[in-house]
């Protein structure tokens, strides 16, 4: 059985050449496979100040009710399409606000993950690799290679009230792991213990720093410095408490006062203030029953706040340096079941992305007339993962910057969707 | 598109007595797509059905001939007729309201009005035929003149989608019910909301952060004393379709919820249709979560019998499964159907009813003993399922 | 049987054989030091001196029992005059039930990587490990039990967590067996020979997976319990992306010979696999895994565990990363590693015995204070003791020990036991175990809290702002620092004297007396809180709990 993990990167191709030439591996001489380590990412990317905004429509938004509608066909459902700000691109009528900003986005309509499982689909979309293997999520990868050394805000924030377990950093430093906010609330433990004044807290911090200085004076510094840095960050976070809680009335009017609107507003604030990856989860889309009524409700909640967020990011001149993606773990079946529902469908569905490094207004790939299969440019989570990173200027074909290990950042078996990159 | 009719009963020569317990299938008409609604015209000539496509089917009940009404741009889940049977009105999910001649040889939409932004969920004719009432996803109720399609009035007040409307038989009031299970009563003289009755026909799924509810059908009893609303309650898992079917009976005079018509067991699903039969029983159509269907018959006098229950502090107490619901009325007869039943309409002579099924069929049932000679002639007659 | 006799017998059966059986192993720790020194060459002049008594005490407590010592143990050890007090300390702690607890945590993370609960209750699995470690079950036997478990034998179900929690997913399980028991991450070898690691051949990956390929998860229709069934046929085939050749392989371990199936029998099953019955073949490929992995022939097995035990106490492996053992990533001290592996073989994989030798070495006992740091000394030269971040469990127990919660909980349980049985004696071995279990069960929820905040899958230490906030502001620690019940804060306030409080604080939390400068420093700090002693003490304690000196094992 062929596994999709074969390696096509330059170092592997070189190795293959040597292998096929029949040269024994050990003791070959000048070119030793053992010494070949492939390019490693340096810290040179930091300082570019790029970021990523992820909007995760949890449960599997129906591509037929969003990005790839097929009105009037056998499985088309009751909705019609609307034109968008990009001539030739039509999306479902349930996304009127987003349609007006289509020129800021592109669509990939040809995703086939070969899985219909929530957990597997989600992992594949986040890690760019199939299965439970220990790989970091794209948010952690981006945080590692793009966030500034002394990040004032958490590098990777995930706003969600859904209790899904995400092990985002894997073998990367824990500082690149997501910080989860249960809605528009401050992170845990951001307030000083009761009755402790700011002055007293500062005195404690000073004392602690002194102790560390003394301890470190004749010991290896790296670990202690790292530990110290986390307290500095903590102090910074404490002083930014307001960021997580206060939302302007005027802005709430624009974004909408329901939860998702508030999340989007918080997301904008965090991106503006320096978080490298902000992920907002909107649930739920797993509409095995009453697919149409629920998509009316959920997409109505999604459409305006998302469009407002996208437009705000663009208006602030941030879109050039912000990758935006709207995604799920799979799409939904063309066939409508007996409960007016659509079931899981990982074999032919879509996502939307735009911003940094992405060619706007493009449509990549296509499904057939009924939406039952991909007929052009089939891609999976691996291709998409490469694409996100390449768009942000991260060489996804390189190995992770981890001493002692050679782990390719993206799956070497696949490549980015080059025609989507600006 | 549809297969030939299978009629097993010729019209009764000699009228056999109505006996709900003997309900049996009399005819079946097939369409290629699942059906969403069916209605029989006031003259008993045709059965119309909406489907999960852009068509409305019309079968001649006698000959079985099929004509397709084309021209909708979305699904139709509601239609009604002028009292004289000449006109058919369809409401579709693109927000449009269409006028058709019921017996048009080549049906075409003769008038279209953009009734709502988003779904036009329901259309209902006033008892005198002069007005049409619609409701839709813009949370509005609108009243139109039936003859020229002029907007006569519009009522706002629902804070979420209203699903269905009905006129009181005396024409003075309109009722509507929304996603949150609120039954609104509108005075038609003043075009004003005069009451809002909360029901348990709604639920919020915490896990998926979504509401589900609303009336899938609404009907006053012919004497106007009670209102029946078919829908759901006790939402456990909205996205899996795990909730309970319910028909809420509201007392018109007291504006109180009287009883809940429930299936015989704790079956999960949706109640899609309800009709009052002149012989004092109520018929309901239920689709079960497992894909089967039920047609239930309840005694009307049980449905109006008041039950004394204590004020429960727990607001969800009434949203219980059938066996634990103090207001529940169980049916005296149940017909099992091998496909989800998505609606119900009574024929004008009160001897038959039609149901639209997920498998694409309209089934016509007769509520009498099976005529003996037909059993011999027709050969294989589908037996009614045991109750 | 008296306590002393018990102790002597245990000593005799578990530790003495290692010291008496051969002069080589009696000098293992000396051989370790000799090889380390030899490899250091000229750098040895920059080697740090021996750790002080209090440094050693704290380090050994953490490495053997998973928590810091109590303040009385600190002063007692300092005051102890006997020349072999360090040896005696190590031997005493190795027999303490806390050692079994500490090793349980370590093994659980090594074997399960904090995978969520599935099919088998985590508490039962941990209890199985704990009981095994209390009796110093040999590592090869433990591994064999885990890999032989099918979950079908009720009493032995907990052992099956290793396989069942992974749902017998072939790729994940194969990879983990390679990593955990052979020190080899074969992940990329799945599709073809790893491009830069010569000996992770594709054949080896599939050879390992072939042991498991015929096994499947079976759910008992009545009990609903999941166990492992197996078919009598099924081959592993693979296609090299490299060469496009299709190949097949019988089960094999790394470079050892493939294990061919015995000739097929007419009836290959003991129990045929049906919908309602678990398949049991007469010849099980899966059951070959245990004896073959742990066999003497399979050198990788003992090299791996030797390396991991070395890393546990020394702070870094002789091979790093721990699961990347291959010819292109040789050990920093190859002969030393071979020596340790041989020792394990000789003692029948006695982990306690090896740990004892490692701890007794001068290499281990070195101070973490650097003699020189410019240019920085290579860590692999072991010139100074490494800083080892406390694991989440060590941090939890040490914090609870520091604030006095362990003591008060222990006292409560002793009182309770004595009520039931006035002859209860916490020094008696069996009752000590009972007491440790009780204390652990009471305080486990707090350990879970620390795990949730501090656990990470990264190879290296990383500190996050969330963790810092938990330590600085978290309510749990605030609660622990509220004076009550004879805890640390109450004792500090009762001293009534800043100097006495400072000494008490340092002894209790940092397990050493303060220097004169530190005394002055802390007294000055407390001086600013003259009118609010409690806040002063709380703040001082909290600052020290947040300090690097507390956070690390040094």
The answer to whether the CB atoms of A34 and C465 lie below 8 A apart is: no
Q: State how far the Cα of C351 lies from the Cα of C349, in Å rounded to an integer.
A: 6
CA nearest C505: which of C548, C537, C471, C546?
C537
Q: In the structure, what pLDDT confidence band is assigned to residue A418 with cuts at 50, 70 and 90?
A: very high
Q: In the structure, what pLDDT confidence band is assigned to residue C237 with cuts at 50, 70 and 90?
A: confident
The answer to whether the CB atoms of B212 and A341 lie below 8 A apart is: no
CA nearest C156: which of C180, C178, C131, C133?
C131
CB within 8 A of C532, min separation 6: which ones?
none
Q: Is any Cβ of chain B less than 8 angstroms from the Cβ of A79?
A: yes
**pLDDT tens per residue across span A170-207:** 888 888 988 888 888 888 899 998 889 999 999 999 99
Q: Is any Cβ of chain B less than 8 angstroms from the Cβ of A296?
A: yes
Tokens of A180: 């989860």
Q: In the structure, what pLDDT confidence band is assigned to residue A353 with cuts at 50, 70 and 90?
A: very high
pLDDT at B377 over 50: no
From the CA of B208, how many Å to the nearest CA of chain A? 5
The answer to whether the CB atoms of A298 and B118 lie below 8 A apart is: no
From the CA of A146, how many Å to the nearest CA of chain B? 34
Q: In the structure, what pLDDT confidence band is assigned to residue A268 with cuts at 50, 70 and 90?
A: very high
> What is the residue-averaged pLDDT of chain A?
87
Select from B75, B209, B241 the Cβ nearest to the Cβ of A339: B241
pLDDT at B314 over 70: no
Q: State how far the Cα of C237 lies from the Cα of C245, in Å rounded to an integer.
A: 10
Q: Tell me, letter by letter, the H, E, C secondary structure of C169-215.
A: CHHHHHHHHHHHHHCECCHHHHCCCCCCCCCCCHHHHHHHHCCCCCE
The pLDDT of residue C244 is 62
Select from A59, A289, A297 the Cβ nearest to the Cβ of B241: A289
- What is this model's ipTM? 0.90
The answer to whether the CB atoms of C188 and A237 lie below 8 A apart is: no
The B120-125 sheet, strands edge to edge: B120-125, B131-136, B141-145, B151-155
Section B151-156 average pLDDT? 97
The pLDDT of residue C444 is 97
DSSP B231-273: EEEEEEEGGGTEEEEEEEEEETTTTEEEEEE--SS---EEEEE
**pLDDT tens per residue across span B218-257:** 999 999 999 999 999 988 888 888 899 999 999 999 999 9
Query: In order of start, what are the domains of chain B with their CATH numbers?
Result: 1-156+345-371 (2.130.10.10), 198-337 (2.40.128)
The answer to whether the CB atoms of A173 and C460 lie below 8 A apart is: yes
From the CA of A59, how many Å to the nearest CA of chain B? 9
Tokens of B142: 């609108």
Chain B residue with the nearest C-alpha to that of A93: B118
Place of tokens 């693109």: B94
CA nearest B29: which of B38, B18, B19, B17?
B38
Q: DSSP secondary-structure letter at A104?
A: G
Q: Which of residues 138-177 of B touch A (CB under 8 A)?
A: 161
Q: State how far the Cα of A11 lies from the Cα of B330, in Å rounded to an integer.
A: 74
Which residues lie across from B122 on neighbouring strands?
A: B135
pLDDT at A334 over 70: yes
Q: Is any Cβ of chain A less than 8 angstroms from the Cβ of B387?
A: no
Is the preceding omega at residue B295 within 30 degrees of 0, hence cis?
A: no
- HSE toward the beta carbon, residue B181, CA cutoff 13 A: 23
The pLDDT of residue C24 is 46
**pLDDT tens per residue across span B27-47:** 999 999 999 999 999 999 999
**Stronger pLDDT, A239 or B167, i.e. the higher one:** B167
> Which residues on chain A are in Cβ contact (under 8 Å) with B291?
338
H or E, element range at A121 = helix A118-127
Q: State how far the Cα of A96 lies from the Cα of C392, in Å rounded to an integer.
A: 50
Q: Are strands A156-159 and A277-283 parallel, antiparallel or unpaired?
A: parallel
Select from A80, A286, A292 the Cβ nearest to the Cβ of B94: A80
Q: In the structure, what pLDDT confidence band is assigned to residue C310 with cuts at 50, 70 and 90?
A: very high
Tokens of B175: 């009722």
**Stronger pLDDT, B3 or C228, i.e. the higher one:** C228
Select from A167, A201, A230 the Cβ nearest to the Cβ of C463: A230
Q: Is any Cβ of chain B less than 8 angstroms from the Cβ of A338?
A: yes
Hey, where are the domains in chain A?
47-184+247-420
> Which residues on chain A are in Cβ contact (under 8 Å) with C202?
none
The pLDDT of residue A16 is 36
Q: Do B354 and B347 form a contact (C-beta atoms < 8 A)?
A: yes
The pLDDT of residue C199 is 46
Burial class for B29, CB neighbours closer than 10 Å (0-12, 13-18, 19+)? buried
Select from B74, B212, B289 the Cβ nearest to the Cβ of A78: B74
Q: Torsion over CA of C337, C339, C345 and C349, rounded to 10 degrees?
A: -60
Section B141-151 average pLDDT? 97
Sheet strands (E) in B102-148: 111-114, 120-125, 131-136, 141-145
From the CA of B316, how many Å to the nearest CA of chain A? 23
Q: Give me the total of CB pairs closer than 8 Å, taking one residue from chain A and one from chain B.
A: 68
**pLDDT tens per residue across span C130-158:** 999 999 999 999 999 999 999 999 999 99
Q: Max alpha carbon distance in chain C (Å)?
A: 90
> Which residues on chain B are in Cβ contact (under 8 Å) with A283?
208-209
> Which residues on chain A are in Cβ contact (under 8 Å) with B52?
77-78, 336
Q: What percentage of residues in chain A have a pLDDT greater than 70?
A: 88
Burial class for C412, CB neighbours closer than 10 Å (0-12, 13-18, 19+)? middle
**pLDDT tens per residue across span B108-122:** 999 999 999 999 999
The pLDDT of residue C240 is 61
The pLDDT of residue C188 is 53
| Lowest mean per-residue pLDDT among C75-79, C372-376, C523-527 | C372-376
The answer to whether the CB atoms of C549 and A215 lie below 8 A apart is: yes
The pLDDT of residue A55 is 98
The answer to whether the CB atoms of B119 and A297 lie below 8 A apart is: no
Q: State how far the Cα of C166 lies from the Cα of C112, in Å rounded to an integer.
A: 9
Select from B75, B240, B339 the Cβ nearest to the Cβ of A78: B75
Neighbours of chain B (3+ CB pairs under 8 A): A
Q: Tell me, letter by letter, the H, E, C secondary structure of A294-327.
A: HHHHHHHHHHHHHHHHHHHHHHCCCHHHEEEEEE
In degrees, rounded to 5, the angle at the alpha carbon of residue C7 between the alpha carbons of residues C4 and C12 is: 125
pLDDT at B326 over 90: no
**pLDDT tens per residue across span A103-113:** 999 999 999 99
> Which residues on chain A are in Cβ contact (under 8 Å) with B94?
78, 80
Asked if CATH classification 3.40.720.10 holds for the domain at A47-184+247-420, the reply, yes or no, is yes
- Touch between A and B (at least 3 CB pairs under 8 Å): yes
Q: Measured between alpha carbons, how far is residue C382 from residues A279, A287, A331, C40, C197 in Å?
A: 44, 60, 55, 8, 27
Section C362-375 average pLDDT? 90
**Stronger pLDDT, B101 or C7, i.e. the higher one:** B101
Q: In the structure, what pLDDT confidence band is assigned to residue C9 with cuts at 50, 70 and 90?
A: low
Helix (H, G, I), strand (E, B) or coil at C280: strand
Section B343-350 average pLDDT? 96
Q: Is any Cβ of chain B less than 8 angstroms from the Cβ of A200?
A: no
CA nearest C216: which of C281, C279, C148?
C279
The answer to whether the CB atoms of A234 and C469 lie below 8 A apart is: yes
H or E, element range at C126 = helix C122-134
**Rounded to two decimals, what is the model's pTM?**
0.80
Q: Measured between alpha carbons, how far is residue B238 from residues A284, A338, B241, B280 in Å?
A: 10, 14, 5, 34
The answer to whether the CB atoms of B94 and A78 lie below 8 A apart is: yes
Q: State how far the Cα of C447 lies from the Cα of C451, in Å rounded to an integer.
A: 6
Place of tokens 């996304």: A95
Place of tokens 């069996």: C430
**pLDDT tens per residue across span C253-299:** 998 999 999 998 899 999 999 988 999 999 999 999 999 999 999 99
From the CA of C478, how many Å to the nearest CA of chain A? 7
> Which residues on chain C are in Cβ contact (under 8 Å) with A405?
321, 324, 459
Q: Is any Cβ of chain A less than 8 angstroms from the Cβ of C521?
A: yes
Q: What is the CA radius of gyration of chain A?
A: 23
CA nearest B123: which of B88, B168, B147?
B88
Is the preceding omega at residue C375 within 30 degrees of 0, hence cis?
A: yes
The pLDDT of residue C129 is 98
Tokens of C309: 């035990």
In degrees, rounded to 5, the angle at the alpha carbon of residue C505 between the alpha carbons of residues A230 and C443 is: 70
- HSE toward the beta carbon, residue C91, CA cutoff 13 A: 16
The pLDDT of residue C245 is 66
CB within 8 A of C103, min separation 6: which ones?
C133, C351
Section C310-322 average pLDDT? 95
Q: State how far the Cα of C312 lies from the Cα of A279, in Å rounded to an integer.
A: 37
The answer to whether the CB atoms of A59 and B239 lie below 8 A apart is: yes
| Lowest mean per-residue pLDDT among A17-26, C381-390, C519-528 | A17-26
């Amino acid at each position: 059985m062929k596994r999709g993990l074969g390696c096509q990167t330059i170092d592997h191709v070189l190795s293959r050449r040597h292998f096929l030439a029949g040269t024994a591996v050990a003791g070959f001489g000048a070119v030793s496979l053992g010494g070949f380590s492939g390019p490693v990412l340096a810290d040179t990317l930091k300082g570019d100040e790029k970021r990523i905004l992820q909007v995760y429509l949890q449960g599997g938004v129906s591509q037929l009710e969003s990005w790839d509608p097929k009105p009037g066909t056998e499985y088309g459902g009751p909705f019609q399409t609307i034109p968008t700000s990009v001539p030739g691109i039509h999306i479902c009528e349930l996304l009127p606000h987003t349609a007006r900003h289509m020129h800021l986005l592109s669509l990939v309509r040809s995703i086939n993950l070969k899985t219909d499982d929530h957990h597997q689909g989600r992992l594949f979309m986040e890690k760019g690799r199939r299965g439970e293997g220990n790989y970091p999520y794209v948010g952690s990868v981006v945080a590692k290679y793009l966030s500034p050394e002394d990040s004032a805000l958490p590098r990777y924030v995930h706003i969600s009230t859904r209790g899904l377990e995400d092990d985002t950093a894997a073998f990367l430093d824990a500082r690149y792991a997501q910080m989860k906010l249960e809605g528009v609330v401050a992170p845990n433990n951001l307030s000083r213990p009761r009755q402790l004044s700011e002055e007293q807290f500062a005195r404690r911090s000073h004392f602690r720093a002194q102790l560390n200085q003394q301890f470190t004076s004749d010991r290896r510094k790296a670990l202690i410095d790292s530990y110290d840095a986390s307290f500095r960050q903590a102090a910074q976070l404490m002083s930014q408490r307001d960021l997580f809680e206060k939302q302007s009335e005027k802005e709430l009017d624009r974004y909408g006062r329901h939860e998702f609107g508030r999340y989007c507003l918080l997301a904008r604030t965090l991106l503006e203030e320096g978080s490298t990856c902000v992920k907002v989860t909107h649930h739920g889309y797993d509409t095995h029953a009453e697919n149409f009524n629920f998509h009316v409700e959920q997409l109505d909640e999604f459409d305006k706040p998302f469009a407002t967020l996208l437009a705000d990011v663009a208006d602030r001149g941030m879109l050039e340096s912000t990758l935006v993606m709207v995604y799920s773990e799979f799409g939904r079946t063309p066939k409508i079941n007996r409960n007016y529902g659509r079931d899981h469908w990982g074999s032919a569905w879509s996502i939307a992305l735009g911003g940094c490094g992405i060619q706007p207004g493009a449509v990549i790939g296509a499904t057939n007339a009924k939406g039952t299969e991909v007929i052009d440019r089939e891609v999976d989570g691996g291709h998409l993962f490469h694409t996100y990173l390449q768009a942000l200027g991260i060489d996804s074909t390189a190995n992770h910057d981890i001493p002692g290990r050679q782990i390719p950042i993206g799956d070497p078996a696949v490549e980015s969707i080059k025609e989507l990159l600006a | 598109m549809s297969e030939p009719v299978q009629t097993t009963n010729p019209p009764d020569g000699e009228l056999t007595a109505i006996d709900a317990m003997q309900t049996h299938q009399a005819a079946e008409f097939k369409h290629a797509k699942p059906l969403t609604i069916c209605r029989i015209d006031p003259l008993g000539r045709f059965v119309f059905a909406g489907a999960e496509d852009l068509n409305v089917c019309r079968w001649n009940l006698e000959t079985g001939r099929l004509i397709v009404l084309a021209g909708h741009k979305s699904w139709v889940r509601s239609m009604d007729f002028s009292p004289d049977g000449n006109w058919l009105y369809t409401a579709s999910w693109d927000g449009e309201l269409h006028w058709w001649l019921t017996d048009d040889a080549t049906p075409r939409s003769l008038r279209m009005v953009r009734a709502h932004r988003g779904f036009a969920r329901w259309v209902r004719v006033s008892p005198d035929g002069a007005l049409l009432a619609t409701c839709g996803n813009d949370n509005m109720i609108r009243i139109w003149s039936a003859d020229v399609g002029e907007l006569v009035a519009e009522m706002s007040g629902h804070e979420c989608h209203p699903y269905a409307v009905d006129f009181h038989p005396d024409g003075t009031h309109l009722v509507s019910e929304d996603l949150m299970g609120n039954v609104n009563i509108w005075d038609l003289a003043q075009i004003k909301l005069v009451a809002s009755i909360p029901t348990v026909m709604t639920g919020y799924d915490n896990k998926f952060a979504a509401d589900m509810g609303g009336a899938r059908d609404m009907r006053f009893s012919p004497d106007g004393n009670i209102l029946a609303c078919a829908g759901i309650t006790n939402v456990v898992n909205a996205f899996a379709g795990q909730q309970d079917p319910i028909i809420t009976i509201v007392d018109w005079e007291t504006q109180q919820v009287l009883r809940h018509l429930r299936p015989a067991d704790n079956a999960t699903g949706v109640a899609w249709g309800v009709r009052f039969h002149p012989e004092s029983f109520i018929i309901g159509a239920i689709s079960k979560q497992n894909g089967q269907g039920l047609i239930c018959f309840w005694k009307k006098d049980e449905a109006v019998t008041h039950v004394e229950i204590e004020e429960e502090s727990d607001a969800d107490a009434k949203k219980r499964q059938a066996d634990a619901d103090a207001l529940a009325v169980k049916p005296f007869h149940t017909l099992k159907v091998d496909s989800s039943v998505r609606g119900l309409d009574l024929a004008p002579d009160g001897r038959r009813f039609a149901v639209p099924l997920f498998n694409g069929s309209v089934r016509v049932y007769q509520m009498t003993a099976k005529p003996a000679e037909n059993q011999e002639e027709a050969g294989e007659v589908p037996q009614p399922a045991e109750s | 049987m008296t306590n002393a006799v018990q102790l002597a017998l245990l000593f005799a059966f578990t530790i003495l054989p290692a010291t008496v059986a051969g002069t080589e192993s009696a000098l293992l720790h000396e051989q370790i030091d000799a090889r380390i020194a030899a490899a250091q060459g000229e750098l040895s002049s920059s080697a740090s001196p021996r750790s002080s008594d209090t440094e050693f005490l704290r380090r050994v407590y953490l490495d053997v029992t998973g928590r810091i010592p109590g303040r009385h143990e600190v002063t007692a050890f300092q005051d102890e005059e006997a020349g072999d007090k360090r040896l005696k300390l190590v031997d005493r702690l190795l027999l303490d039930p806390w050692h079994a607890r500490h090793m349980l945590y370590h093994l659980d993370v090594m074997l399960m990587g904090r995978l969520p609960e599935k099919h088998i209750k985590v508490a039962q699995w941990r209890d199985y490990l704990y009981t095994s470690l209390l009796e110093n079950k040999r590592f090869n036997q433990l591994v064999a039990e885990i890999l032989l478990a099918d979950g079908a034998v009720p009493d032995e179900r907990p052992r099956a967590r290793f396989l069942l929690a992974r749902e017998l997913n072939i790729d994940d399980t194969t990879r983990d067996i390679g990593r955990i028991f052979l020190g080899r991450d074969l992940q990329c070898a799945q599709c073809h020979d790893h491009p830069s690691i010569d000996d992770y051949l594709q054949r080896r990956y599939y050879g390992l997976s072939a042991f498991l390929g015929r096994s499947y998860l079976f759910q008992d229709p009545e009990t609903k319990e999941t166990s492992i069934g197996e078919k009598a046929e099924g081959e592993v085939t693979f296609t090299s992306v490299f060469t496009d050749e299709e190949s097949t392989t019988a089960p094999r371990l790394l470079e050892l010979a493939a294990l061919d199936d015995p000739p097929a029998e007419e009836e290959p099953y003991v129990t045929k696999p049906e919908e309602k019955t678990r398949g049991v073949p007469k010849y099980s490929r899966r059951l070959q895994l245990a004896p073959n992995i742990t066999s003497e022939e399979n050198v990788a097995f003992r090299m791996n565990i030797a390396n991991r035990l070395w890393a546990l106490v020394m702070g870094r492996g002789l091979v790093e990363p721990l699961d990347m053992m291959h010819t292109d990533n040789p050990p920093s001290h190859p002969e030393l590693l071979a020596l340790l592996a041989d020792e394990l073989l000789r003692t029948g994989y006695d982990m306690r015995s090896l740990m004892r030798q490692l701890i007794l070495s001068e290499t281990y006992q070195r101070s973490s204070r650097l003699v020189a740091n410019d240019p920085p000394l290579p860590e692999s030269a072991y010139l100074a003791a490494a800083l080892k971040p406390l694991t989440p469990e060590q941090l939890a127990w040490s914090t609870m020990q520091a604030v006095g919660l362990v003591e008060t909980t222990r006292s409560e349980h002793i009182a309770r036991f004595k009520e039931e049985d006035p002859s209860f004696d916490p020094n008696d071995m069996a009752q000590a175990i009972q007491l440790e279990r009780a204390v652990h069960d009471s305080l486990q929820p707090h350990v879970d809290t620390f795990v949730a905040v501090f656990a990470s899958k990264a190879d290296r230490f990383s500190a996050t702002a969330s963790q810092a906030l938990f330590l600085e502001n978290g309510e749990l620690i605030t609660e622990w620092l509220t004076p009550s019940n004879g805890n640390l804060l109450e004792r500090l306030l009762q001293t009534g004297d800043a100097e006495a409080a400072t000494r008490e604080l340092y002894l209790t939390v940092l397990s050493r007396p303060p220097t004169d400068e530190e005394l002055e420093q802390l007294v000055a700090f407390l001086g600013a809180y003259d009118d609010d002693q409690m806040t002063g003490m709380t703040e001082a304690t909290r600052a020290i709990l947040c300090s690097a000196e507390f956070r690390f094992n040094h």
